[in-house]
Amino acid sequence: MVYYWLFFLYCQLVVCLAWSDGAVRRFPPGFMFGVASAAYQVEGGWDADGKGESMWDRSIHKRPDLISDGTSGDVSTDSYHNYKRDVEMLRELGVDFYRFSISWPRVFPDGFTNNKNEAGFQYYNNLIDELLKYNIEPMITMYHFDLPQKLQDLGGWANPLSILWFEDYARNLLERYGSKVKYWITFNQPNGICMEGYGDGTMAPFVSVKGIAEYICVKNVLLAHARVWKMFNEKYRVKNKGSLGISIAVNWLDPLNNATENVQATDEYREFTIGLYVNPIFSKTGDFPQVVKDIIARNSKEQGFRKSRLPVLTSDEISAIRGSADFLAMNHYTTSLVSRPKKNNHPSPSFEHDANVKLTYSKHWAVAKSPWLRSAPYGLYKALIYLNLKYDYPYIIITENGWSTDPGLDDTQRVDNLRSYLNALLLAIEDGAEVSGYAAWSLMDNFEWTAGLSERFGLYEVDFDAAEKTRTPRKSAFVYKEIIASRIVDEAFEPKSMQMTLSDRRMKMKAKIEL
Ligand code: GBH
């Protein structure tokens, strides 16, 4: 009888902790939690052991003033030498997977595959083996912004031959690691590669041929992705039981108010920022969104171009790209409010001129250290529902979501942001979104592109002044660890101490599987 009551009380306790509004809100079984990083942002070792020069190496060495605090990724967190500590941190968190990227010039210094850098291949091999040893799934991004400089000398992603260079590179990665790695992502954020790299000139290669180069780049990147998909399907998928996707930035957009022109501007801008990449791959019809084609064609004509600045996709190209992914790897950070300016004052031609919108934020949304980043978790919910309805329930893995702060271990704002976005995600899953994983950006502080080290995205703080690049868990690391272990977002959880211990969750699961 006593046992009965004890058991009853215990259950009450569990129910209190785990249930809200009378229903358990738990991430579904099999849902994967992870963290993400990218080669140039964490590895350092920019010329170690035969690595070639990337376009980020070249840009920053030539123009250190491009980076707000004058830093570079030359050393960064030095993961090239510290990868075992990185995996230890992943074990502390208890994550299911680690999303990292491969530096193309580390494995092929010139970009071309005739000249292979075995030391580079060995590095990733070691990292993968270390992950697998602890039952953590590697998720590899083949390309996260760091093109070999030699290929950039030839025009980079504006050169249609980049499609073949990338296919060659990808084939080598799949040959070498395909049997060990189940999750593959071809590109990180084509909009970052193309709009920022070739239009705004705010990311390497810092080219700015506005309104033209961006769109050429988008076409080439989509075709390169589709080539790799074809190769993966024909040769590697069955053999390795893997899956392949592409990371696309899907931030949410809402109209500033209900004025018809603002609602229309929002619809259009969703097509310019989301549809431009998602429609060709995930829609039934394929191709660029019609409204984007129409607007760019109309503007091009007015500007005296003989043809649209948006390259045409032939019907063969449309069918090669359509359906070319097992999952949509979604990077989601924030929401903006859209309105249509009275007059289009953007430089003509340009992407901004074509899109013709003004973006603002609600004053109620918390502002991160990064000026563009506001906390509006409802936007993740809406973005997921939008993708569901528009693209017929694609399989989604969230491959980036995060928050930036100043240095400091008490990162309450990151904790709040993490919890509220995970709650929004849970709601979307409950409402039918097919989301099977979530990766927090980022495992640790790292080189934040032109913001250098001034914006810290890490669950772990990195001491960049220390030779060892010491990593220390922030409060958010303890909170995330608890969420992963319990599968519940418990708002009341407070870490008892800031002392990290290894989580053996993944090893237990492995033991279970092996039984
Ligand atoms: C991700 O992109 C990247 O994939 C990742 O590498 C990066 O570390 C992470 O975001 C955090 O930024 O300063 O006004 O010019 C997210 C999209 C696009 C967000 C560029 C920041 C700069 C805007 N990023 N944007 S601004």
Query: Is the shortest distance between the CB of 268 and ligand 1 below 6 Å?
Result: no
Whether 96 shows a pLDDT value over 60: the answer reads: yes
Q: Which residue's CA is the closest to the ligand 1 atom numbered 14? A: 372
Q: Which residue's CA is the closest to the ligand 1 atom numbered 26? A: 372
Q: Report the DSSP pairing between strands 137-143 and 435-441.
A: unpaired
| 214 Cβ contact partners less than 8 Å away, ≥ 6 residues apart | 194, 195, 198, 199, 351
Given a contact cutoff of 8 angstroms between Cβ atoms, the answer to whether 136 and 96 are in contact is: yes
Give residue-wise pLDDT tens across range 54-74: 999 999 999 999 999 999 999
Count H helices and E strands in the chain, helices first. 20, 15
Q: How far is the CA of 11 from the centre of ligand 1 (A)?
A: 45
C-alpha 476 chain-centroid distance = 19
Q: Which residue's CA is the closest to the ligand 1 atom numbered 24? A: 192
Q: Report, as an integer, the average pLDDT of 235-247.
A: 95
DSSP summary character for residue 488: B
Q: Report, as an integer, the average pLDDT of 36-64.
A: 99
Predicted pLDDT at 8: 47
* CA gap 263, 328 in Å, rounded: 26
What would the 3-class secondary structure string for 246-311 be? EEEECCEEEECCCCHHHHHHHHHHHHHHHHHHHHHHHCCCCCCCHHHHHHHHHHHHHCCCCCCCCC
Secondary structure class of 472 (helix, strand, coil): strand
Per the prediction, the chain carries an average pLDDT of 96
Q: Report the DSSP pairing between strands 252-255 and 183-188.
A: unpaired
Q: Report the DSSP pairing between strands 183-188 and 97-101.
A: unpaired
Given a contact cutoff of 8 angstroms between Cβ atoms, the answer to whether 31 and 98 are in contact is: no
Token digits for 258? 């209900």
Given a contact cutoff of 8 angstroms between Cβ atoms, the answer to whether 414 and 431 are in contact is: no
Q: Which residue's CA is the closest to the ligand 1 atom numbered 21? A: 372
Of 76, 100, 81, give the one whose Cα is nearest residue 447.
Answer: 76
Given a contact cutoff of 8 angstroms between Cβ atoms, the answer to whether 330 and 247 are in contact is: yes
Chain position carrying tokens 């449309």: 318
Query: Is the shortest distance between the CB of 249 and ligand 1 below 6 Å?
Result: yes
Query: Is the shortest distance between the CB of 192 and ligand 1 below 6 Å?
Result: yes
Predicted pLDDT at 22: 55
Q: How far is the CA of 495 from the centre of ligand 1 (A)?
A: 30
CA atoms within 13 A on the CB side of 384: 28
Q: How far is the CA of 203 from the centre of ligand 1 (A)?
A: 10
Give residue-wise pLDDT tens across range 418-448: 999 999 999 999 999 999 999 999 999 999 9
Give residue-wise pLDDT tens across range 121-172: 999 999 999 999 999 999 999 999 999 999 999 999 999 999 999 999 999 9
Radius of gyration of the chain (CA): 23
pTM across the whole model: 0.95
* CA gap 339, 262 in Å, rounded: 5
Whether 294 shows a pLDDT value over 50: the answer reads: yes
Q: Which residue's CA is the closest to the ligand 1 atom numbered 8? A: 448
Q: How far is the CA of 139 from the centre of ligand 1 (A)?
A: 20
| CATH dotted code for 2-65+78-247+374-514 | 3.20.20.80
Whether 24 shows a pLDDT value over 80: the answer reads: no
Give residue-wise pLDDT tens across range 221-233: 999 999 999 999 9
